[in-house]
Amino acid sequence: MTRQLELLRPGQISAEMARCRRVWLPLGTIEYHSHHLPVGLDGLQAHGLCLDAADIAGGLVYPPLWWGTGGGHGAYPWTVMMPGETELFALLWQTLTRLQAFGVRQVVLFTGHFADEQLKMIAGLASDWNAQDGPLTALALGVNGNSEAPLPPDHAGRFETTLLAAFQPQAVDMSQLPPANTGEADEDPFGPQRHAPGHSLHGIFGADPRAFRPEEAPALRRSMAVWLAEQAGPVPSAAA
């Protein structure tokens, strides 16, 4: 049986909730990730990892929320970003409210878009929610949180290219990136020059994805999924 909640009938949802009252809630954006990656990368990687973690630790996976805030990329091509947290906070709060009413006992908010503003928003939401001391607890995590991952996190760089390739290899097209320009190898990979449309790595912040090796994708995916499952902790049971 799939763990994608949107594909399940009520009886199937109830059966899984009797085993594990956990819901994974992936968050992403529609955001430019240079020429070689799809604009839905954040949500795609978050959703894929939530499905992997649910297979390990139990629970069901909510459809991705394709909105986010922060990161300084709001004016990039094909990027739709919320200017602040107000609407997102309200939407997520209502989602937690309804899931609690259905008997869910843990929601893992897992964001593939890990701008500081986004991370602060979900951390604040989880803190405010948990302060109520109700039956449902919220856990806020970002894809950048695994300190033992084989590659360091980045935006559209080698890490995100490799991770997405583990789930959607057909969506990665390295031929769309131009050759490196003279001097780029010695520059700051997180520097402001990467915002320049004429830069060969425009919109890429982190390690050059042209060093991407497809064979590294399975190990990165596994490391991230195991880490995510471990963060969720013990299985919230029907008696919890």
CATH of domain 5-230: 3.40.50.10310
Mean pLDDT of 161-189: 90
**Alpha carbon distance 26, 31 (integer Å):** 15
pTM of the model: 0.95
Mean pLDDT of the chain: 94
CA distances from 108 to 55, 131, 229 (A): 14, 16, 10
pLDDT in tens, 169-180: 999 999 999 987
- Let me know the angle formed at the C-alpha of 132 by 131 and 136, rounded to the nearest 5 degrees: 100
Q: How many CB atoms lie under 10 A from the CB of residue 11?
A: 7
Give the pLDDT confidence score for residue 176 in this predicted structure.
96
CA distances from 192 to 44, 73, 180, 195 (A): 27, 12, 17, 6
Q: Strands, E, within the chain: which ranges?
A: 22-27, 60-61, 106-111, 137-142
Q: How confident is the model at residue 53 (pLDDT cuts 50, 70, 90)?
A: very high
Identify the CA nearest to 23 among candidates 121, 125, 96, 94.
96
pLDDT in tens, 120-150: 999 999 999 999 999 999 999 999 999 999 9
Give the pLDDT confidence score for residue 175 in this predicted structure.
96
Amino acid found at 50: C
Q: Which residues contact 178 (CB under 8 A, 6 or more apart)?
A: 200
pLDDT in tens, 69-104: 998 887 899 999 999 999 999 999 999 999 999 999
Give the pLDDT confidence score for residue 240 in this predicted structure.
47
CA distances from 226 to 27, 141, 168 (A): 19, 14, 19
Counting every residue written for the chain, the total comes to: 240
3-state secondary structure 31-95: CCCCCCCCCCHHHHHHHHHHHHHHHHHCCEECCCECCCECCCCCCCCCCECECCCHHHHHHHHHH
